[in-house]
Amino acid sequence: MEKTMNKLIRIIGLAIVGLFSALLVANSVFANEVNVFSARHYDSDVQLYKKFTSKTGIKVNVVSGKDKALQKRIKEEGKDSKADIYITADAGRLGAFQAEGMFQKGASSAAIKKVVPANFRSPYWVGIAKRARIIYYNPKTVNPSWNMSYEDLADPKYKGRVVIRKSSNIYNQSLVASLIKNNGEKNTAAWAKGMVNNFARKPTGNDRAQILAVAAGEADWAVANTYYLALMLSGKKGAEQQAAAKKVMPFFPNQDGRGTHMNISGGGILKHAPNKANAVKLLEFLLTPEAQQHIVNNTFEYPMIPDVKANKLIAQFGLDFKQDLKTKVSNYGKLQAKALKVMNEAGW
């Protein structure tokens, strides 16, 4: 009995050692690779990476997760980090991570500079796709004038008719950051109070839930990103949501002034990237017409390069609206904390 037991223990021990070493080796077998840390969770991104691999032979390894937690892991791993590219869905976060010195120059290669507008790139990171944060309305109850703005949503005449998600949401923080940049902190604080007075309900749910609230008649106005409506219209969320989406109209605000608030999904090359050359190749690939077409058809974002057209579910709402290209997206990061403070003090 004791012998069998000892033998068993020895076998188990060997098995563990074997397994662990196999796993360690497996981690370092692929030399021609690029490692991506992504706070974007799209499956379609992974399909895109597979296309890249079949074209170039470079294997793409991915870890996805919560934005700040990924950043923390990259920072703590320091120069031992295997991560080459960090991708996230907010310009403010890219800017903030750059400010911490976590990116190296090189994201905007010559090929990328040629196709991506200057507002959506820096030497440290580059936008991969665009999204607009816009107003949605119920055409049966209200009709916005052509020059309606984000600022107008705080007008007391809309009391109890506006929905938007919580202040903790990063898209809201970037939007309010752009308002602070353009109108100053004091005016934006007053605006935030007006918004809170107009809320139809306590902020709850994600962007899609705001659009649904307008469809259901809980509110007349909602603020949400563009791709959520297209996602519903695509039928990926079932027939009921598709029908609901048709009851709501998108509206591109601030056409009279600076234009509609734009944000980006983007990526940068990390300071200690072990595969920098491959990282540049991957970023360049993501900005080719082929890859951009794949992105816009799956995530319903706007393309970053001029030659590619947005998916028809998005394009039908018009593509010639005025985008806010004046407010540099890199400002979002600097002002997000202030934006959160302004919203919180208003009881948002």
Candidate list 7, 10, 11, 12; residue touching another protein; CB under 8 A: 12
Candidate list 121, 130, 165, 261; residue touching another protein; CB under 8 A: 165
Q: Is 47 left (phi over 0), alpha (psi -120 to 50) or beta?
A: alpha
> Taking a C-beta distance cutoff of 8 angstroms, is the pair 280, 109 a contact?
yes
* Least distance CB 159 / another protein (angstroms): 20
Q: Which residues pair with 215 in a beta bridge?
A: none
3-state secondary structure at position 272: coil
Of 175, 292, 160, nearest in space to 226 by CA: 175
* Least distance CB 224 / another protein (angstroms): 11
The interface region with another protein, picked from 101-109, 213-221, 280-288, 301-309 by CB under 8 A, is: 213-221
Rounded to 5°, angle at Cα 96 from 94 and 98:
70
Please give the structure tokens belonging to residue 307: 């030659």
Which helix or strand (DSSP H or E) is residue 31 part of? none
The interface region with another protein, picked from 136-144, 160-168, 176-184, 308-316 by CB under 8 A, is: 160-168
Tell me if 27 contacts another protein by CB under 8 A. yes
> Residue 136: exposed, middle, or buried by beta-carbon count in 10 A (0-12, 13-18, 19+)?
buried
> Taking a C-beta distance cutoff of 8 angstroms, is the pair 177, 330 a contact?
no
Which helix or strand (DSSP H or E) is residue 136 part of? strand 125-137
Instruction: Report the C-alpha gap between 308 and 331 in whole angstroms.
Output: 27
Tell me if 140 contacts another protein by CB under 8 A. no
* Least distance CB 150 / another protein (angstroms): 21
Q: List the interface residues with another protein, window 50-89 (CB under 8 A).
A: 61-66, 68-73, 76-78, 80, 82
Tell me if 234 contacts another protein by CB under 8 A. no
* Least distance CB 162 / another protein (angstroms): 16
Instruction: Report the C-alpha gap between 55 and 282 in whole angstroms.
Output: 11
Please give the structure tokens belonging to residue 216: 């259901």
What would the x/- binding string for another protein be over residues 263 to 302, using CB under 8 A? ----------------------------------------
Tell me if 215 contacts another protein by CB under 8 A. yes
Radius of gyration of the chain (CA): 23
Candidate list 177, 213, 269, 280; residue touching another protein; CB under 8 A: 213
Tell me if 1 contacts another protein by CB under 8 A. yes
- The binding site for another protein (CB under 8 A) comprises 1-2, 5, 12, 16, 19-20, 23-24, 27, 35, 40-43, 61-66, 68-73, 76-78, 80, 82, 165-166, 168-169, 201-202, 204-209, 212-213, 215-218, 228, 231, 236-238, 240-241, 243-244, 337, 340-341, 344
